[in-house]
Amino acid sequence: MGERLQKILANAGVASRRASEELIRQGRVTVDGHRAEIGLKVDPEQVEIRVDGRRISTAEKKVYLLFNKPSGVLSSTKSQGGLPTVLDYVRVKQRVYPVGRLDAESEGLILLTNDGSVAHRLTHPRFEHEKEYRVELNRRPDDEQLEAWRRGVVLTGGFRTKRARVWRERADRRGHWIRVVLQEGRKRQIRETAETLGLRVVRIIRARLHALELGALKTGEWRELTKDEIAQLKAVVRPDR
């Protein structure tokens, strides 16, 4: 019995399931030389699968990398406007993809992997995995602003943010820092929330993604996950039900 083609592509690290579906729609995927269609089920051991003419190995070694993204670097595989991407810093033999996004101005933890299942479960909204950020603001937020942030606010377009954990970290000559823990990931959500509350974000650093922590990894550096981190990641990131 075969598996859906988009799941096979995701497991091979080509892209997330959703992105793999788009590759199929665009006609960029072939199975035994024939253009693939959405919904196709195949046995990856019995057919030849290609994306943009490149044969996909379903037995590719799984790689898990932690990268501390600098500001001004895109969490993407393709450059835009001449900006560098995470792949300009992280070079491995396997083809890896960033899990989730940080906007170009933001910094911090990015997971890169060719494990499509892990990427899918970490980024799909229904799994609600936590993401923790250190956020520097232009001034000290008052108690009412923090409480509103915790309850959720209505952003431009009518989107209402979910409840969040927010607390002050420190206030010193270098700025006013808070911690924000989210279980959702709308684009530029932290910046828009701060603006809605009359605050301005100076700097954002993602410190944690689910069970993975940035720790002492320096800006622009990367490392492989330890065996314990991989085991912990797989133990908590459960399969679809």
pLDDT in tens, 109-128: 999 998 877 877 787 767 67
Among the four given CATH numbers 3.40.640.10, 3.30.70.1560, 3.65.10.10, 2.60.20.30, the one describing domain 130-209: 3.30.70.1560
Q: Which residues form the catalytic set?
A: 103
pLDDT bin (cut points 50, 70, 90) of residue 103 is: very high
Q: Which residues make Cβ contacts (< 8 Å) with residue 130, sequence separation at least 6?
A: 181, 182, 183, 208, 210
Which phi and psi angles does 17 have, rounded to 5°?
-60, -45
Listed by start position, the domains of the chain span: 3-55, 64-126+212-236, 130-209
pLDDT in tens, 68-77: 999 999 998 8
- Asked, colleague to colleague, whether 3-55 and 130-209 share their fold, the answer is no
Question: Quick one: CATH architecture of 3-55?
Answer: Roll (3.10)
Alpha-carbon separation of residue 58 from 11, 32, 44 (angstroms): 7, 15, 7
Which phi and psi angles does 235 have, rounded to 5°?
-70, -35
- The token pair at 103 is 């906007």
Question: Quick one: CATH architecture of 64-126+212-236?
Answer: 2-Layer Sandwich (3.30)
pLDDT bin (cut points 50, 70, 90) of residue 1 is: low
Alpha-carbon separation of residue 203 from 133, 149, 173, 190, 200 (angstroms): 10, 17, 15, 11, 9
Q: What pLDDT, on the 0 to 100 scale, is given for residue 241? A: 43
